[in-house]
Structure 1
């Protein structure tokens, strides 16, 4: 099992130069402490996220030595697929074969409007993009023609370091998306706040699709995470941030499995600590991880220690260090595929 870190900060967190510096400091800590990955994410329109995940990943690669670097996730249909294949391959070269490419279709029309890409054909674009990347990484020259893209006799230079290709992990929440992850992906990435039962159901559907396509399934859970010496300390340092974060994501439509919740302000910290976060003392965090493994068959975890609204950088680094020493050290290995 691997434990990586995902960075979800943007200009809402403060001065962009300072915030990106803090992300790089967190990435260096992840590298030093034995985490598996230090990954970026994106929304194109939001002040709560940066919109250039691969550019930030290049900087992380230059400041680290062993963690996987890349995205969880980049919104694949927003990019020219050949250029995305080339930029990701360059990151694999720059990092010495450490690329982790997580891709999704996105769930907000605003991301598409920001860059002028049609929302209505996003799923076809996503499907074709993944297929083009694989061809680009495995062919000296290739051609591709489908409903969206027509690419003739092109090559991606340089090719990636990893052989036969770097893994491509696909995020999905819908039946069609889970089937696509099984058919085209090397792994499935959950969303950050689905319940463990929802994750189990989706994971089962993904695994079945992967096996039908002759692929070995790999389930990666994104979880908001906070480890502290006591439950009281965890609530003090991360409680308000967690509630703020979840209410925001519920409003965006990123959480769809909270029956009875009709308004964001109805969501409480108690709603989240049961099975939607890894939260509390090291013992409580170890128990949560064991529950995800046993119930949902999770192979790897990508952890979010900081939301755009906080906590402060020193608290984040302390929580990362405590998790590495008291949770990760007892429950898992360092490698994500």
Structure 2
């Protein structure tokens, strides 16, 4: 099982933007040094707690300061810009990074982002579907393109102005062939969107703020999508994100990971709980869809969703998770604000150096035999 990193990221008020951006960069650099397989960074335009407005720009600053880690947008919100821009900029990023690029995509869920861009009343899921169709088609096509699919608002051509003798009218292709890996974050229980991912050979990343029982609904749908195009789903392609804090002692893990008033994990889930309540999506935190809203408390959410403990304890919790949801190829560590930089860094170190070796030893064929 591989180890990845994901951050939205979420920071409390009172810290400067420059400071939190530097911290987010330091976390990815540390992940690279520790051997994490990839790092996904989220983006929002209008959230003061989530400070990355464009994940591709942010990740571009890390190309020269990292060596092996793959850099993934987590996600590029496809309703926010023309798909030609995404296709061309992603292709350039792929070359700049030496093929270490992953395109993570989503429609863009934050309503204030949609309003500020003037698309609040648009069907952003439809925008997303149209945009990804154009992006993948451009990477497969040659100039002059002539993309004019019925029902797709994006019409792309350079036929009227192309001049191959001057080298104009041609969009760049990625370094990776036939294209970079495309990853979609899956949030909804029993997601139908993940079926479409399977059909298109995009890879799912199950969100860290979903209860395991809802995460378990994603893989059967993805497998269904693969089967619909006569392909077999490979669990190696499934990423599962979890909120994790590893400490040298059980007491420290419980305090910083759940109970302390200044816990970044507590702050993160207080934000998520408030946002999901506002959006009418508290079911993400419910053990059953008919559970009463007032039973969804912050302490209950922390107990259900934060894997916290010593390396041995966290390894046991990960193995229990795998037993419950099935096999998957990558565990994605959800990064938090470094309220205590020492503890934040130590958790990432223990995760790479102690927890994952123990997990992989336990699930190896030799252990099974």
Other structure's SS at 2:62 match:
helix
Whole-angstrom distance in 1 between the partners of 2:181 and 2:230? 15
Whole-angstrom distance in 2 between the partners of 1:255 and 1:177? 20
1:292 aligns with 2:321: yes
Query: Where in structure 2 are the equivalents of 1:186-225 lying within 5 Å?
Result: 186-215=202-231, 216-217=233-234, 218-225=237-244
**Partner residue of 2:164?**
none
**Partner residue of 1:131?**
133
1:21 Cα deviation after fit: 1.4
1:302 aligns with 2:332: yes
Whole-angstrom distance in 2 between the partners of 1:44 and 1:290? 37
| TM-score normalised by the chain length of structure 2 | 0.82
- Rate the CA distance shift 1:31–1:105 in 2: closer, same or farther, 3 A: same
**Partner residue of 1:27?**
28
Identify which of 243, 249, 273 aligns with 2:266: 243
8 A Cα contact 1:169 1:185, kept in partner: no
Whole-angstrom distance in 2 between the partners of 1:82 and 1:70? 19
1:30 Cα deviation after fit: 0.7
Query: Where in structure 2 are the equivalents of 1:1-337 lying within 5 Å?
Result: 1-9=1-9, 12=12, 14-49=15-50, 50-141=52-143, 142-146=145-149, 147=151, 148-153=153-158, 157-174=171-188, 175-215=191-231, 216-217=233-234, 218-239=237-258, 240-253=263-276, 255-257=282-284, 258=286, 259=288, 260=291, 262-263=293-294, 266-268=297-299, 270-274=300-304, 276-297=305-326, 298-307=328-337, 310-332=338-360
- Rate the CA distance shift 1:77–1:3 in 2: closer, same or farther, 3 A: same
Other structure's SS at 1:203 match:
helix
Unmatched tracts of structure 1, length 5 or more? none
Whole-angstrom distance in 2 between the partners of 1:187 and 1:130? 14
Other structure's SS at 1:161 match:
coil
- Rate the CA distance shift 1:332–1:100 in 2: closer, same or farther, 3 A: farther
Whole-angstrom distance in 2 between the partners of 1:156 and 1:62? 28
Unmatched tracts of structure 2, length 5 or more? 160-168, 362-369
8 A Cα contact 1:40 1:71, kept in partner: yes
Question: After superposition, what is the alpha-carbon deviation per residue over 1:239-275, rounded to whole angstroms, capped at 9, x for unaligned?
Answer: 233233223212212652315352598220x54334x
- Rate the CA distance shift 1:214–1:173 in 2: closer, same or farther, 3 A: farther
Compare relative contact order (CA 8 Å, sep 6+) and give the higher one, 1 or 2: 1
Question: After superposition, what is the alpha-carbon deviation per residue over 1:107-130, rounded to whole angstroms, capped at 9, x for unaligned?
Answer: 332221122224432111111211
8 A Cα contact 1:8 1:48, kept in partner: no
- Rate the CA distance shift 1:89–1:331 in 2: closer, same or farther, 3 A: farther
User: Over the residues paired in the alignment, what is the CA RMSD in angstroms?
Assistant: 2.4
Give the length in aligned residue pairs. 329
Question: After superposition, what is the alpha-carbon deviation per residue over 1:214-233, rounded to whole angstroms, capped at 9, x for unaligned?
Answer: 45452211211111112211
8 A Cα contact 2:78 2:105, kept in partner: yes
8 A Cα contact 1:4 1:302, kept in partner: yes
8 A Cα contact 2:242 2:307, kept in partner: yes
1:330 Cα deviation after fit: 3.2
8 A Cα contact 1:196 1:295, kept in partner: yes
Whole-angstrom distance in 1 between the partners of 2:250 and 2:271? 24
- Rate the CA distance shift 1:160–1:234 in 2: closer, same or farther, 3 A: same
| TM-score normalised by the chain length of structure 1 | 0.89
Question: After superposition, what is the alpha-carbon deviation per residue over 1:27-82, rounded to whole angstroms, capped at 9, x for unaligned?
Answer: 11111111111221012210111211110010122210110102122222212101
8 A Cα contact 2:10 2:268, kept in partner: no
8 A Cα contact 2:247 2:343, kept in partner: no
Question: After superposition, what is the alpha-carbon deviation per residue over 1:292-311, rounded to whole angstroms, capped at 9, x for unaligned?
Answer: 3332233212211314xx43
